Amino acid sequence: MREQVRTVGLWLMTGLRAAPFHSTALVVMLCLQAAIAPVRTYGVKLIVDGVGGAGEGPIRLGVVVILATFAVAFAGTSVDGYLESAGADRVERWVLSDILRLTTHIPGIEQHERPDVADRLSQLRDSARELGWFALVLFQLISTCVTIVLVVAMLSGVHPIFAVLLVLAFGQVWATSLDSKWMQDTMERMQPYGRLVRSLSELAREPRAATELRVFGLGPTLLSRIRSLSGTMYAGERRAMVRGLAVVTLAKTIFRLAYLGAVVYLIVLAGRGSASPGDLALVVLLAPQVDGAASEAGDGVSRVGVALRSFGRYRWLRDYASSHSWKGGATPAHDRLGDATPAPERVGGVGSAPVRLVSGIELRDLSFAYPGTDVAVLDSVSLVIPAGTSVALVGENGAGKSTLVKLLSRMYDPTSGSILVDGVPLSTIDPVAWRERLSAGYQDFVKYEFSARLVVGVGDLARLDDEEALRAALVRGEALELVEELPRGLDTQLGTRFSESSELSGGQWQRLALARAFLRELPLVLLLDEPTAALDPEAEHALYERFAEASRVAAAETGGITVLVSHRFSTVRMADLIVVMDQGRVVEVGSHQALVGARGRYAELFEVQARAYR
């Protein structure tokens, strides 16, 4: 119940913050409109009673009442459409930007890599439109409730027996909301199918997948998979729809029969002189209003249910973002989904990042399992990386190299053990400040579809307009010539999405990604995770020579460390320290010469590659 109250609180707060004027004006308009039909019917009753002998007074009042309702209806139809859509747009835009703000401000990447969390986030984005319509949904329900209260009050004034109809009207509301709940549950259950259909459909349209799909003749298979998944989804939804329709029809039939019975009873009373003709007119004219209002209230309740679910997800994201904000420097405990436990306070609070390394980085008995799993991907890793060294991580696929790189950039904190930066636990250093001291290049780099200047400049936004710095980074990334050949040089739009843009090859994109990594001068840690996989051997060799030079400068000036992940031993051998990993453990550490001399795992792997080149 407390959770529900918090969700409703968030709902109201969001509407009032995002569209205060529209929300308030809409409430007033809808309440006035809700009163129109019953009040107008009351005007008719006054006229009928006046004509039936009650005199001119009721007739005059009845006419005034009816004219007033027409005036309010006219004013309402002129402005409420605008209020509804403008208010809904404002709320939707506000919520969408808040979702983006919340997700981008989470320092870690768990929410992107953990399927159950990513699933919830995608559900939330899908329901952003529903959040936008929140004001309309809520206010329509309020308006319908006002109608019901007025109508039932009038009917009870005629005879108390009509109050019983209220109970049956709520039976209708309950049936409609049950119908909606079943439908929502089904749609939620079907959501993974929906997402799969969407991702398969995107795959079929994706230009980068076009060649492979054709070579492997995957088109028909993809199509039949999409059809079968859609079939499963629609069958589930149809079942829920039929079940809901049966319950709603039953409730409506009971209500209408009861109302009919009440009207017949009133006719009998009128025959005995216990009810006026105006009372009879009132009851007959109010019949469709009660029926309509009961159905509308049912729809309103079910839409409120949908909106509450959406706002429940929105609230969950807010809680998740706050418990994963790493306040106090600590990452949250690996929580169960939905149980977003607050981050434990850390003694000493957040530390700032050092400006230079004196002793280096030490991994002390470090183990790590990805959140939501209990497989130790890194297992009791202990390693000392002295300041000013370059270290290469090697090992078979899945050995844990990229995971270690993620931990060094504090995308995650270790499950146990620690990373010490000059003796200070990395988990106590502000992640944003720490990342300002890093730079990185990855194999699966991002192809930002920006201008070439920005593609490189995002590596250090402060130096976006520093031509000299950009040029130096391009030289180091072996990308200067490539940019000079672009139609508008650094200001050329890259990618395929704009008519004036230039598309690059995979290797050319990677050179720009490397230039980006080299833009930040003298980082304390330069992380290179297979950053040259798409380069030709000549470019790769030239690049590593420059990169070795850059690491020497960084080493001398700041004690900076370079961490390189690579499967190519010709580059690995240049590193001061080579770390061989196997199934999450460090199995050998040493220089190239020492490890070849030791005739262990490294020597074996090196020999296999060297033989292939002979």
Ligand X SMILES: Nc1ncnc2c1ncn2[C@@H]1O[C@H](COP(=O)(O)OP(=O)(O)OP(=O)(O)O)[C@@H](O)[C@H]1O
Give the binding site for ligand X (CB under 6 A). 113, 370, 373, 377, 395, 397-403
Closest separation in Å from C-beta 112 to ligand X = 8
352 vs 373, which CB is nearer to ligand X?
A: 373
Classify strands 561-565 and 390-395 as parallel, antiparallel or unpaired. parallel
77 vs 373, which CB is nearer to ligand X?
A: 373
Tell me how far apart the 2 most distant CA atoms of the chain are, in Å: 119
* Contact status, residue 553 vs residue 476, Cβ threshold 8 Å: no
Closest separation in Å from C-beta 576 to ligand X = 21
Name residue, tokens 């799909």: 213
- The Cα 487–Cα 479 span in angstroms is 15
Closest separation in Å from C-beta 565 to ligand X = 6
134 vs 320, which CB is nearer to ligand X?
A: 320
94 vs 370, which CB is nearer to ligand X?
A: 370
CA distances, 338 to each of 5, 305, 312 (Å): 17, 19, 11
111 vs 451, which CB is nearer to ligand X?
A: 111
Closest separation in Å from C-beta 428 to ligand X = 24
460 vs 530, which CB is nearer to ligand X?
A: 530
300 vs 584, which CB is nearer to ligand X?
A: 584
Q: How many residues does the chain have?
A: 614
Closest listed residue to residue 519, CA positions, set 584, 440, 591 = 440
- The Cα 238–Cα 222 span in angstroms is 24
Helices (H), 409-536: 431-436, 452-457, 467-476, 480-484, 506-519
353 vs 579, which CB is nearer to ligand X?
A: 579
- The Cα 428–Cα 347 span in angstroms is 9
Closest separation in Å from C-beta 402 to ligand X = 3
Closest separation in Å from C-beta 113 to ligand X = 4
Q: Using N-to-C axis directions, what is the helix angle for 134-158 and 20-49, rounded to 10°?
A: 20
Closest separation in Å from C-beta 612 to ligand X = 18
Closest separation in Å from C-beta 396 to ligand X = 7
357 vs 377, which CB is nearer to ligand X?
A: 377
Helices (H), 216-276: 219-271
Which residues partner with 366 through β-bridges? 381
Cβ-based burial of 95 (10 A; exposed 0-12, middle 13-18, buried ≥19): buried
Phi, psi of 106 (to 5 degrees): -75, 120
Closest separation in Å from C-beta 611 to ligand X = 21
Closest listed residue to residue 289, CA positions, set 387, 189, 151, 158 = 151
